[in-house]
Structure 1
Amino acid sequence: MGKCNGRCTLVGFCCLQLVAALERQIFDFLGYQWVPILANFLHIMAVILGIFGTIQYRSRYLILYALWLVLWVGWNAFIICFYLEVGHLSQDRDFIMTFNTSLHRSWWMENGPGCLVIPVMNSNLALEDHHVITVTGCLLDYQYIEVVSSAMQIFLALFGFVYACYVSKVFMEEEDSFDFIGGFDSYGYQAPQKMSHLQLQPLYTGILKLLVSINSLYNFWQHC
């Protein structure tokens, strides 16, 4: 029962991670943030691998899933530090999120709750393919929305890591116990032995005696 509860709980956390990752992927696409888009795609693949490993009793897949969650926690911690501008990190460095292909801008910057966007026309600060805007009246700034999203990803990843380690440990213990009681090991299964020459010797002896008896009977009739 404990194994079933652990598997069901892990599948539930994986489904929550999948929904949260898809939601985040949509908003990152809307904001043209290419580095987070790539990271989200890898995370979605790893979560699907974790679900498959849980359902199919594949401990190796769960180990790979758990290792990816460690990297995922580190990436989301970096996102939090980036939006809060911890240390030398700054949101003005566009190449960090977009491979320096476009202006970094979170979708929540212009579409946050209560935000009022006012474009600044003919500004000397505007680039060739971008415009300058002022955003006012937001109930919650976009950087805090991104921080909350990353914190939720870390929360789900930590629980997923714990349950992935537990379920994979259960799977490996079951595999070891199955081999020990003679599942497919070399001690539990013995191939049928071939008949040796000694086992066939009585049969050959009986046939030889029969032929000798027939020959003696034939010789007896010849003499008669």
Structure 2
Amino acid sequence: MGRCTGRCSLICLCALQLLSAFERQIFDFLGFQWAPILGNFLHIIVVILGLFGTIQYRPRYIMVYTVWTALWVTWNVFIICFYLEVGGLSKDTDLMTFNISVHRSWWREHGPGCVRRVLPPSAHGMMDDYTYVSVTGCSLSFQYMEVIHSAVQILLSLVGFVFACYVISISMEEEDTFDFIGGLDTHSYYQDHIELKPVKPVEISNAIDFEMRLLDLT
């Protein structure tokens, strides 16, 4: 019963993680955030692997998922520190795009309540520069949107880590119990055969003696 509950909970959680990862991947693609895109891609693969291992009773796959959740939590903590500019990090750098482009988070221009305006080219130097875009009226800044997304990922990963450890422990306990019962049966079977071997010649000898006595009487 406990195993079924743990497996069903882990399956539902993996499905929820996949949905949240796909949602985040879409917005990271729109913002050309290549580092998060790569991380999301690996996360999706490992979650699918953990889901397969849970359905097919493969504890090793679940172990891989468990290790990855710890790494995924670390990565999302780094993203939170990046956007909150903790420890000398700056959200205005091109770290998330691998310095390939000057794009920023998609939520910077399309966040809740944001009004995006393109300023006249004559006011600045280059047409393709990001400074041509003016964003006003945002009810929630883009860095907090990214922090919320990372916090959700951390929460799901922590819960998934707990359920994965529980499923692994239940599976290992059942395997140990199965091996113990199998070994006990084999041992008792062997003992029964050892005990029965000396009984057979005694029965045969008694039968021969009885027949000889009948012959003597006749």
TM-score by length of 2: 0.80
| Aligned CA distance change for structure 1 residues 189 and 108 (closer, same or farther; 3 Å) | farther
2:114 is aligned to 115
- Partner Cα distance (1:26, 1:131) in 2: 21
2:98 is aligned to 99
Greater C-alpha Rg: 1
1:79 is aligned to 79
2:214 is aligned to none
| Aligned CA distance change for structure 1 residues 74 and 125 (closer, same or farther; 3 Å) | farther
| Aligned CA distance change for structure 1 residues 125 and 97 (closer, same or farther; 3 Å) | farther
| Aligned CA distance change for structure 1 residues 123 and 90 (closer, same or farther; 3 Å) | farther
Report which of the two has the higher share of helix: 2
1:1-224 equivalences under 5 Å are: 1-94=1-94, 96-120=95-119, 121-124=121-124, 126=126, 129-132=128-131, 133-182=133-182
- Partner Cα distance (2:65, 2:125) in 1: 45
SS of aligned partner of 2:182: coil
1:204 is aligned to none
Give the ranges of 4+ consecutive aligned residues of structure 1 lying more than 4 Å apart after TM superposition.
123-126, 186-190
SS of aligned partner of 1:181: helix
Where does the alignment leave 5 or more consecutive residues of structure 2 unmatched? 191-218
Give yes or no for contact 1:182–1:189 (8 Å, CA) kept in 2.
no
| Aligned CA distance change for structure 1 residues 53 and 154 (closer, same or farther; 3 Å) | same
Following superposition, the deviation at residue 103 of structure 1 comes to 1.2
Following superposition, the deviation at residue 155 of structure 1 comes to 0.4
Give yes or no for contact 2:11–2:54 (8 Å, CA) kept in 1.
yes
One-letter code aligned to 2:140? L
Identical-residue share of aligned pairs (%): 62
User: CA RMSD for the aligned pairs?
Assistant: 2.2
Give yes or no for contact 1:66–1:164 (8 Å, CA) kept in 2.
yes
TM-score by length of 1: 0.78
Following superposition, the deviation at residue 41 of structure 1 comes to 0.4
